[in-house]
Amino acid sequence: MVLTPIGHSRIELEAVSSTNNYTMHLLEKQDVAEGTAVITSFQTKGKGQDKNLWVSDAGTNLLFSIVLYPGFLPAAEQFILNKVLSLAILDFIKLYIPRSKGTIKWPNDIYTGEKKVAGILVQNSIKGNHIEHSIAGIGVNINQEIFPDFAPPATSLKIETGREQDLRKCTDALFKKIELRYHQLRSEAKETIHWDYLHALFRFNTLHNYQINQRKFQARIIGVNEYGKLILEEKNKSRLECDIKGIRFLPD
């Protein structure tokens, strides 16, 4: 199977409210080739998970959205796209920080140790039982050195390596990793993707503190179901399935 060329076609913008919004409007007006990347140096209203904002200094980080047409994927399995993109970013991070404890904080943040280095926002358009198109918004902290006092704390490749990174080279390297992981999905290597994602999960199979509504408890992350819900196992072996709005990760 021929690899889908990620980033072969690029739309580069000095500034934009959100690359996902820009890409969405572009798809409404014209045909856009799969793998097209909308890249910007600065977002005025960058989108994060669950209506959060993605804050980034101008010209220091990777900020882009990619157009995908995963029509081969049933709508019920759409969370696997989050897995593919999270793994691709983790693959990229390990090029620069091979000894880092890189993990994926469910559902789609990338961590180095206890700090966030990247995030993803996938917006899918569903037609019938399949995905018509997907817009994958990605932000990776590359050269930024000072971050707002948000929770969780953030870091960047420059902070972790002590070196300024070439943004163009980083972009090309990340596109290649996304291309390889997306090809893995198109080749029906779903079990490999599921296994890799599970074993890359932040806090996987170790006891930590969580909160659902007003109840605080200790549990282990033991999996993610086909719909993307996190599966926790408490000390008494009872299991919970929760979505992003239903759970808080608490410090230990």
Q: Which residues contact 159 (CB under 8 A, 6 or more apart)?
A: 145
106 occurs within a structural domain: yes
Domain count, the chain: 2
Q: What is the DSSP string of 100-127?
A: S-EEEETTTEEEETTEEEEEEEEEEEEE
For residue 20, give its domain range: 10-199
If asked whether residues 67 and 152 sit together in one domain, one would say yes
Put simply, whether the predicted model's pTM sits higher than 0.95 gets the answer: no
Q: Distances in Å between the alpha carbon of 76 and those of 72, 99, 183?
A: 12, 36, 20
If asked whether residues 100 and 221 sit together in one domain, one would say no
If asked whether residues 143 and 225 sit together in one domain, one would say no
3 occurs within a structural domain: no
Q: How many CB atoms lie within 10 A of CB 209?
A: 14
If asked whether residues 214 and 179 sit together in one domain, one would say no
DSSP 83: H
User: Residue 234 maps to which CATH number?
Assistant: 2.30.30
If asked whether residues 217 and 191 sit together in one domain, one would say no
Q: How far is CA 48 from the centre of its chain?
A: 10
**Largest pairwise CA distance in the chain:** 55
Provide the residue-wise pLDDT of the chain in tens; the chain has 252 residues. Answer: 678 899 999 999 999 999 999 999 999 999 999 999 999 999 886 555 545 555 678 899 999 999 999 999 999 999 999 999 999 999 999 999 977 789 999 998 999 999 999 999 999 999 999 999 999 999 999 999 999 877 789 999 999 999 999 999 999 999 999 999 999 999 999 999 999 999 999 999 999 999 999 999 999 999 999 899 999 999 999 999 999 888 999 998
145 occurs within a structural domain: yes
If asked whether residues 123 and 179 sit together in one domain, one would say yes
What is the β-pairing status of strands 230-234 and 37-40? unpaired
4 occurs within a structural domain: no
If asked whether residues 192 and 211 sit together in one domain, one would say no
What are φ and ψ of residue 110, in 5° steps?
-105, 130
Q: Which residues contact 7 (CB under 8 A, 6 or more apart)?
A: 35, 37, 66, 171, 172, 175, 179
If asked whether residues 134 and 228 sit together in one domain, one would say no
